[in-house]
Amino acid sequence: MSSTVELSTPLAEIPKLAARERSALEKAGFVTAGDVLTHFPKRYEDRRQFDRFPSEASMTPVCIHGRVTDTSLRRFGRRKQFFEATLEEISDDAFSHPVVCRWFNMPWIHKIIAADQELVVFGKPKQSGKRLVIDHPEFEIVDPESEEASIHLRRITPVYRLGSGVSQRPLRTLLHRLLEELDPESVPDLLPAPPETGGAGEAAAEGSGNFRYAHLQQIHFPEDFDALKAARRYFAFEEFFSLQINVARRRREYLSRPGKAHSDGAVLLTQWFQQLPFELTDAQKHVIKEIRADLKSNRPMNRLLQGDVGSGKTAVALAAMLIVVEAGYQCALMAPTQILAEQHFLTLQRQLAGLDVRISLRTSAKQQDDFLELEGAPQIVVGTHALIHDNVAFQELGLVVIDEQHKFGVAQRGRLIEEGRVPDVLVMTATPIPRTLTMTVYGDLDVSILDELPPGRGTVITAVRPASKTVDAARFVRDHLAQGRQAYIVYPLIEDSETLKLKSATVEHERWVPRFPDHEVGLLHGRLRPDEKDAVMTRFRSGEIQVLVCTTVIEVGVDVPNANIMLIYNAERFGLAQLHQLRGRIGRGAHKSYCILMADMKKGSAEALAKLQVLEDTTDGFEIAEADLELRGPGDVLGTAQSGLPDLKLGDLVTDTALVKEARDLARRILEEDPELAAPEHEALRALSVKSREALVT
């Protein structure tokens, strides 16, 4: 065994790598030996002990080893064909039934598989007439007599995701060889303190004193499942760690800039407090205290406020703004939509009536910036996130509040922070973000949580109903309208789409009007002009309109306490978190509220319908977020484009909470001691940190 390969060795310099194989690998995106070696297996087959041949259909795949006894190419339809190979168990004592493998419309297969070959097959057996068949199994032709047999057989065998032109066995053989020839010195440990692992890999690692090298061997060709587990954990940790070291560095950078220490005046705060029509919740008081401490210090505030819909984030933001205004600075409150900006403006106007605070709603870019220069410039400017892009000329911007952050790109936050002086930043979100995501995407923010709803809220009862029950639903709504309540009827799209065949708000609005002859039915969707939207919203708020047929434009923040019914059509097509957001529009007054998920029972998959159950069962936003994350994956939950999430090879943000936390603590500890990663033992880390910095959008 010679150690001639390093992680950085280009494919072209790997000895004895056939040109054809090399070019296929290069096409698949591999450049160095290290790229190949960090192409971790997608799964493993335990070929020390194959599964017995199945005797019945099964939902889980089996991995079997057998001999081909018969093959045939058959036709069906006019031009279509399929290929069959009958497989029999090899061991003598088998009373097993043969399994038939089938491939449809893959004519080349019959040139590859022939009688007497031995195959390893992986797939789900199902019943077809009297036979057990596996359609389109993953398979590998094996030869127990060959020299390479020990790489592919009689072990826990890695199975890789393949690029086109790269096949399983040659890739595995190459990896096996690379691992043998790999110079351990070229695989330095990145992590100063490997997490507790255990297993054979660990023991081997202790022997060589090189954990990374040992785990790399084990993740491809594990000695046993314990060693595999340890290796996967090691590399998952490494992934999380490299993310966290960047998050931690960003955080340090931010904190190192001079912020503004806002004097801790409380005149305005007290005045506001005294005329507030409600008592703040303990959670609100607690968070306001945290924010006050941030504002008082001369480090810039960079805080995420998480609170379920209706938890009263606006009041917290207002308290923060009053402190900053009193210190003589301007504040900007940014909402994701115009409707929300206006609503915030109205709330602020109402709650600040009688206080000496100048607030202004910035509705369009036209309304020019000169008003900011005048005597009596507004102290609080409310607008959409266009406030950042239009470069509004603030005189002394002290605090930026960003409402409903999940509607913004993470990048926008970065941009805001980069521009000029560093204002304090408060980011508010109602999307309960699972903790692992918070630590990864917003890891550089301090987090406050409003974990309490104001008292006196009516409960929201949620029920899933078939969409066909519209007549019943209409009667239900009518009953509540008669009692003076209001209702939302939500559709996912604005125009009838032939392809999706989803009900649309525009068309449905016309159908709903005659169902409520005694009441006013309004229509709200994203394609209306802003002033049209306003007019509709104002009329709904004032009770002039009782039923609002709408799209998801009302998703965030809209606050009409008298509306207590919501019908959501095509509910099976929404994400759980989004449904929860929508539902948050009701249950804001003292009346009992009803959210009815009108689902298309025929079109919705069983899974989609089952997930709606979660909403019947709980109103806890965090529980729902976790369920959503499990169902959809992190990219979808945050929206891939703006999530700033890198592709993780091994780490799982859903299940690896503890590991993410460990990685974060370690990253912070290391940077505490060596902020620039200048120490020689951190050299590899420094490189890693630059590399994965590029991967992060922020």
Cβ-closest position to ligand ADP: 312
Q: Which is nearer to ligand ADP, 313 or 583 (CB)?
A: 313
Q: Which is nearer to ligand ADP, 25 or 558 (CB)?
A: 558
Minimum distance from residue 327 beta carbon to ligand ADP (Å) = 23
Minimum distance from residue 309 beta carbon to Mg ion (Å) = 7
Q: Can residue 588 be called a binding residue for ligand ADP (CB under 6 A)?
A: yes
Mask: binding to ligand ADP, 520-549, rule CB under 6 A, as x and -? ------------------------------
Name the one range near Mg ion by CB under 5 A: 230-238, 275-283, 514-522, 556-564: 556-564
Q: Which is nearer to ligand ADP, 310 or 634 (CB)?
A: 310
Please tell me the distance from the alpha carbon of residue 664 to that of residue 293, in angstroms, as a whole number: 24
Residue 657 sits at φ, ψ, to 5 deg, of: -50, -50
The number of residues that bind Mg ion (CB under 5 A) is 1
Longest dimension (CA), the chain: 97
Name the one range near Mg ion by CB under 5 A: 469-477, 494-502, 516-524, 555-563: 555-563
Minimum distance from residue 339 beta carbon to Mg ion (Å) = 12
From the list Mg ion, ligand ADP, none, partner contacted by residue 434 (C-beta under 5 to 8 A by kind):
none
Three-state DSSP state, 450: strand
Minimum distance from residue 559 beta carbon to Mg ion (Å) = 7
Q: Supply the DSSP symbol for 97.
A: P
Q: Can residue 590 be called a binding residue for ligand ADP (CB under 6 A)?
A: no
* 253-282 binders of ligand ADP (CB under 6 A): 278, 280-281
* 547-576 binders of ligand ADP (CB under 6 A): 557, 559
Q: Supply the DSSP symbol for 377.
A: -
> 398: which 2 tokens?
């002290």
Name the one range near ligand ADP by CB under 6 A: 216-224, 308-316, 377-385, 386-394: 308-316
Q: Can residue 311 be called a binding residue for ligand ADP (CB under 6 A)?
A: yes
3-class SS string, 61-75? CEEEEEEEEEEEEEE
From the list ligand ADP, Mg ion, none, partner contacted by residue 312 (C-beta under 5 to 8 A by kind):
ligand ADP
Residue 166 has, within 13 A of its CA and on its CB side, a CA count of 21
Q: Which is nearer to Mg ion, 451 or 630 (CB)?
A: 451
Q: Can residue 557 be called a binding residue for Mg ion (CB under 5 A)?
A: yes
CA distances to 236, 434, 435, 436 from 656, rounded to whole Å, are: 9, 12, 11, 8
Sheet strands (E) in 337-468 = 359-361, 380-384, 397-402, 424-429, 446-450, 460-466
Q: Where are the alpha helices (DSSP H) in 542-620?
A: 576-583, 606-617
Minimum distance from residue 430 beta carbon to Mg ion (Å) = 6
* 288-307 binders of ligand ADP (CB under 6 A): 307
Q: Which residue from 524, 599, 600 is spatially nearest to 563, judged by alpha carbons?
A: 524
Residue 244 has, within 13 A of its CA and on its CB side, a CA count of 26
Q: Can residue 84 be called a binding residue for ligand ADP (CB under 6 A)?
A: no
Q: Supply the DSSP symbol for 531.
A: H
Rule CB under 6 A: choose which of 430, 521, 553, 637 binds ligand ADP: 430
From the list Mg ion, ligand ADP, none, partner contacted by residue 220 (C-beta under 5 to 8 A by kind):
none
Please tell me the distance from the alpha carbon of residue 349 to that of residue 261, in angstroms, as a whole number: 27
Phi-psi region of 501 (alpha: psi -120 to 50; beta: other; left: phi over 0): left
Three-state DSSP state, 212: helix
Q: Which is nearer to Mg ion, 556 or 663 (CB)?
A: 556
Three-state DSSP state, 667: helix
Q: Supply the DSSP symbol for 419.
A: S
Q: Which is nearer to ligand ADP, 457 or 603 (CB)?
A: 457
Please tell me the distance from the alpha carbon of residue 153 to that of residue 379, in angstroms, as a whole number: 73
Residue 306 sits at φ, ψ, to 5 deg, of: -105, 130
Mask: binding to ligand ADP, 435-474, rule CB under 6 A, as x and -? -------------------x--------------------
CA R_g for the chain: 31
Mask: binding to Mg ion, 502-541, rule CB under 5 A, as x and -? ----------------------------------------
Rule CB under 6 A: choose which of 86, 217, 306, 314 binds ligand ADP: 314
From the list Mg ion, ligand ADP, none, partner contacted by residue 278 (C-beta under 5 to 8 A by kind):
ligand ADP
Strand order in the sheet with 80-89: 126-128, 131-135, 99-104, 80-89, 62-76, 118-123, 138-142
Specify the DSSP element, H or E, that contains 409.
none
Residue partners of 95: CB distance under 8 A and separation at least 6: none
The number of residues that bind ligand ADP (CB under 6 A) is 17
Name the one range near Mg ion by CB under 5 A: 80-88, 261-269, 433-441, 549-557: 549-557
Sheet strands (E) in 130-262 = 131-135, 138-142, 156-159
Contact set with ligand ADP (CB under 6 A): 278, 280-281, 284, 307, 309-315, 430, 454, 557, 559, 588
Contact set with Mg ion (CB under 5 A): 557
